[in-house]
Structure 1
């Protein structure tokens, strides 16, 4: 059978991908799992096996690309758009921070203190919006510690992350958009340079300190750009992932009760990551022409490997739209796969399962969704709830 060119779908709008991508991908997995969506001018892969292949087959697919708006937005060529030895060298420069011994000796107690302090600032009853009052300040404190930075405020970390992401998605290379990311770059570089001096005087296991104090450190330009990868790839995503799993548990009190009794918060954490992947899609370059299920992907094309769709693939998941922490195990693709798999995945799991979820529900065991509140998820590439309103009540 002769391979066909990638079909084009002209019916899908960006608004559909922003508001209800699950319905779009459900149809595509059934009818056209490999398709070019005209509204975004990208080929998307929606089946789990295809998405996994795009992340792990380094002969046919890669990330190397220095012509994207990401380079301008991040002030340099980051490890996310590199492959092979160049990527591995820069990735290896950060791995020390995420080793288990640092979790046991450094991070666990420090992060537990942050969580207790943020919980202490919350009211003990009444309605509360968790994104602004709980998730954002908590994530900022944890990441500032883990990365080894001191922004001017907790909000500045999220401002930087938003500026980086917006700049990286600036496909039209609009100078007005880049002006925002340029300003954020100047602020971040000043912060990094100031903190490097402190870390050289007092080394610690934070990402910036580990890179700055390496025996053969990366050039300053690469330390800066890869710190920005950590900011752009963690702040908003960790906030959204936290809110997603809280929403899932609050909507399913039977599953919450199961967690409270069994202490298997890890099951809820994993299901939240699968249910709504905070990073829904990742770009890859077709390095060498390949045929997938009778469709020809030509060399040079940029594709979007949609892990948000892969996590709903009916070949692996039954009733994937439902939050069900008791479902049979199948590995989700939220953290990616292959050489670019998220290096922070395991520390995120520990933070969520060992600290945040048990501490939050120990403080508020009777928390429930606020009356008449509707949780709205938005986003095509990055996805999370706009807000999460709950009714708090202690024992």
Structure 2
């Protein structure tokens, strides 16, 4: 059978992808796993094998693209849209921060202290909203320390991240949208430049200090843009991933009890990442024409590899819509794959499974989901709970 051109779906709306993407992807995996969705003007890959191939097959797929709105949104050409030696050089400039010796000697004790202090600010009992009262301030404090930055407030860090993400998704190149990301860029650049002076006087293992104090440092422009990658790719995602796993455990007291008794918080951490991938989809460029499932992808096309759909693929997961820490192991794709796989994945696991989850439930062993309140998840490219009300007792 000869290959066909990419089918076009005109029935899927952006609102459907924002509110209930799992139902959309379930149908696409079954009926049309490689499809152009008119509402977002992108080709989606929804099967796990195709998503993995798009991340690892460097002959047919790549990330190199300097014509996207991301370049304007981030104030330069970031390592996320580079391949090969150029990408490796800039990625390698940050690796030192995430080495295990720094976890043991620097980060672990500090992040335990931050978590204890964040928990200490919560009431001993009663109703509380964990998104703004716990997850966001804790994540901000951890990230500011890890990255080596000092925003004016926790809110500013999340405003920066939101501005970067919104600007990167500005496919129409709307100047009003870019005005917001331009303002955020100016604020971030000023923050970075001031912090670089401090880090050169007092070197430390934070990302910004490591890059600024390298023997052969990157140009300042690339230090700035790649710091923005760390902010745009960690603040909202880390907050939402924490909230997702807390919600999953609170909705399933038997699984929470298994973690409390067995100490396997790592299982909950991984299942939360699979259940609702904080970054739902990632762009790739077709470098060389390829046929997937009988569909021809021409060179030069931009595709979205949908890891959220890959994590629900029935070829690998049974009842994927359910949060289940006891399911048979299969590797989720929430951290990506290939050269662009998330650099911070292991430190995230150590923070959440080794510190935050056990400490939270040691302090509040009988925490419950707030009654009669439906937790809503939103987002197409980035997804998480809009709030997480709980009852502490």
For Structure 1 versus Structure 2, the TM-score category normalised by the shorter chain is: over 0.9
Task: Confirm or deny that 1:201 pairs with 2:184.
Answer: no
Give the C-alpha shift of residue 154 in structure 1.
1.1
How many Å separate the matches in 2 of 1:48 and 1:110? 37
> What SS class does the counterpart of residue 158 from structure 1 fall into?
helix
How many Å separate the matches in 2 of 1:49 and 1:174? 35
> What SS class does the counterpart of residue 75 from structure 1 fall into?
coil
TM-score for both structures, normalised by structure 2: 1.00
Per-residue deviation, residues 63-100 of structure 1 (Å, max 9, x unmatched)? 00000000000000000000000000000000000000
What residue number does 1:125 align with? 125
What residue number does 2:246 align with? 246
> What SS class does the counterpart of residue 209 from structure 2 fall into?
helix
Per-residue deviation, residues 167-198 of structure 1 (Å, max 9, x unmatched)? 00111111111110011000000000000000
C-alpha RMSD over aligned residues: 0.4
Task: Confirm or deny that 1:290 pairs with 2:278.
Answer: no
How many Å separate the matches in 2 of 1:349 and 1:130? 20
Per-residue deviation, residues 290-318 of structure 1 (Å, max 9, x unmatched)? 01111100000000000000000000000
How many Å separate the matches in 2 of 1:315 and 1:102? 39
Aligned length: 393
How many Å separate the matches in 2 of 1:64 and 1:102? 31
Per-residue deviation, residues 103-123 of structure 1 (Å, max 9, x unmatched)? 011000000000011111110
Give the C-alpha shift of residue 145 in structure 1.
0.2
Per-residue deviation, residues 262-311 of structure 1 (Å, max 9, x unmatched)? 00000000000000000000000000000111110000000000000000
Structure 1 runs of 4+ with >6 Å offset? none
> What SS class does the counterpart of residue 296 from structure 2 fall into?
strand
Give the C-alpha shift of residue 371 in structure 1.
1.2
How many Å separate the matches in 2 of 1:124 and 1:182? 42
Task: Confirm or deny that 1:81 pairs with 2:85.
Answer: no
What residue number does 1:187 align with? 187
Give the C-alpha shift of residue 35 in structure 1.
0.4
Per-residue deviation, residues 322-373 of structure 1 (Å, max 9, x unmatched)? 0000000000000000000000000000000000000000000000001111
How many Å separate the matches in 1 of 2:9 and 2:151? 44
What residue number does 2:165 align with? 165
What residue number does 1:99 align with? 99
What residue number does 2:20 align with? 20
How many Å separate the matches in 2 of 1:231 and 1:385? 19
What residue number does 1:332 align with? 332
- Unaligned ranges ≥5, structure 1: none
Task: Confirm or deny that 1:40 pairs with 2:27.
Answer: no
How many Å separate the matches in 2 of 1:303 and 1:166? 19
